[in-house]
Amino acid sequence: MHTFKGKDYPCCTSLTMGVIGGKWKCVILFYLSQETLRYNELRKKMPKVTERTLSLQLKALEEDGVIKRRVYTSKPPLKVEYSLTEFGETLKPLVISIAEWGDYAVKNYS
């Protein structure tokens, strides 16, 4: 059994999928692995995600320590940027491998 951030996982693979799994987390990580982005910039790159879902996924990734949220102003309009943490940077090779496999599958098996 593996415990991470107070959650129990039966194996290391399920822990990894618990952190990056789902439809949008890996997509978010892919874009943030390339650059720091504001919320609206992420929304433009992911037009099919709902605002609620994006907000929830960003919050979950932040709670797991994978991304950081930086607020630049204290009064509206807020400027909020998202980027990978040092811990999140360790996921870059995994996210890049997933993206490369997706390209391979499209080119060779579509």
Q: What is the predicted pLDDT for the residue at 76?
A: 79
∠47-49-53 over CA atoms, to 5°?
A: 150
For 9-62, how does the pLDDT look when each residue is reduced to its tens digit (9 = 90+)?
A: 999 999 999 999 989 999 999 999 999 999 999 999 999 999 999 999 999 999
Domains of the chain by start residue, with CATH: 24-109 (1.10.10.10)
Q: Confidence class of residue 110 from pLDDT cuts 50, 70 and 90? A: confident
Closest CA to 4 of 73, 13, 28, 97: 13
Q: What is the predicted pLDDT for the residue at 36?
A: 97
Q: Which residues contact 10 (CB under 8 A, 6 or more apart)?
A: 1, 2
Q: What is the predicted pLDDT for the residue at 75?
A: 78
For 87-101, how does the pLDDT look when each residue is reduced to its tens digit (9 = 90+)?
A: 999 999 999 999 999
Q: What's the mean pLDDT when you consider all of the chain?
A: 94
Going through 1-110 in order, the beta strands assigned E by DSSP cover 2-4, 7-9, 37-38, 67-71, 80-84
Q: What is the predicted pLDDT for the residue at 52?
A: 96
Q: Confidence class of residue 1 from pLDDT cuts 50, 70 and 90? A: confident
Is the per-residue pLDDT at 74 higher than 80?
Answer: no
